[in-house]
A and B are shown apart, each in its own frame.
Chain A
Amino acid sequence: MAINPNVIIWTEDDGKVSICHPASTYSKSLDELAKKVVPSGKSYKIIAQSDIPNDRTFRDAWKENGTRVTEDVSKAKTLAHTTRRKKRETEFKPHDDIIAKQIPGKSASDAETSRAGIRTKYATMQTNIDNATDIAGIKTALGG
């Protein structure tokens, strides 16, 4: 059976957009399926699958925008900052270990210098994320 080119969308109480993908074997109308899957009291739309972003980097920032699903730049920035903090923590960790554990043969001074470089790098990233005006700019600020 052919893939259905359409999906059902609605906005949840937390502001996130849910997207119902019908099985290829589903033979009834999407309005019938909506009766089964859309929470009581929620209004829904049937839109083309092609009107949903392909890139899921900022999935939790998706929002209904007429008959399309688009990315909310403000929410995407919040998600980007969470990603930035995680990346920074990962880069800090080996240097933090040297300083905290006083590992023989490892220079705490060198580790502190490396930490300073990482701080500067991520401070710049933070500024670039805040200054971005669109999704592409946020992704570029995050390093691709």
Chain B
Amino acid sequence: MSTLKLKGSSSGEAEVTVAAAAGTPTITLPTASINLATDGSDGQFLKTDGSGTLSFATPAGYTGEATLKAWAAFDGDGDVNATLTEGNLDSITDHSTGQYTATFTTDFSDDNYMMAGAQNTQGFVGFYDEAGITAGSCKFATLDDDGGYNDSFRVTVGWWR
């Protein structure tokens, strides 16, 4: 095995070692300069343009983290007033069994937000009225596994953007 050692200008050294195996591999450096030690940022990868130029790039589809902008927790099978705790909400409106509207204090920029929630040990939380999903409020429902509306002893919902 052979090793080529390059000494730093003031201290340290780097090594290039040839494997103890047959073959004559060749490494060709790009024509443009790139600093592998300091270029790029967290999460980026080294990318080629196919013409010999390397650069650091951000993975496609990476748009940053969503932030919880509003949330609510309450007893849907009891006294909503007494049990409601929330963030960035003016109110929760109870329309009927398992159907609600959350009205935000500060509106979202548009209606392209994410909602997730939980309720009883069975069933789920979901949207039930497409027209009820707006920047300023959101209609949501607590449902059984078979899709019927139910009143849950504990409803927790969050909205992210």
Contact = CB atoms under 8 A, between A and B. Distances in A.
Q: Do A and B come from one complex?
A: yes
Nearest to B151: A56
A18 B95 CA distance: 4
Interface residues of B, number: 25
Interface in B48-105: 74, 77-82, 84-86, 89-97, 101, 103, 105
Interface stretch (A19-27, A99-107, A120-128): A19-27
Nearest to A36: B103
Interface string A30-68: 000100110000000000010000101001100000000
A18 B81 contact: no
A94 interface: no
A141 interface: no
Interface string A106-131: 00000000000000000000000000
A16 interface: yes
Contact of B77 (A16, A19, A56): A56
Contacts of B91: 20-23, 26, 33, 37
Contact of A21 (B93, B97, B136): B93
B96 A59 contact: yes
A49 B74 CA distance: 15
Of B91, B136, B137, most buried by chain A (CB within 10 Å of CB) is B91
Interface of A: 3-5, 7, 12, 16, 18-26, 33, 36-37, 49, 54, 56, 59-60
23 contacts: A3-B81, A5-B81, A12-B95, A18-B93, A19-B80, A19-B93, A19-B94, A20-B91, A20-B94, A21-B74, A21-B81, A21-B94, A22-B81, A22-B91, A23-B89, A24-B85, A33-B103, A36-B90, A36-B136, A37-B90, A54-B78, A56-B77, A56-B78
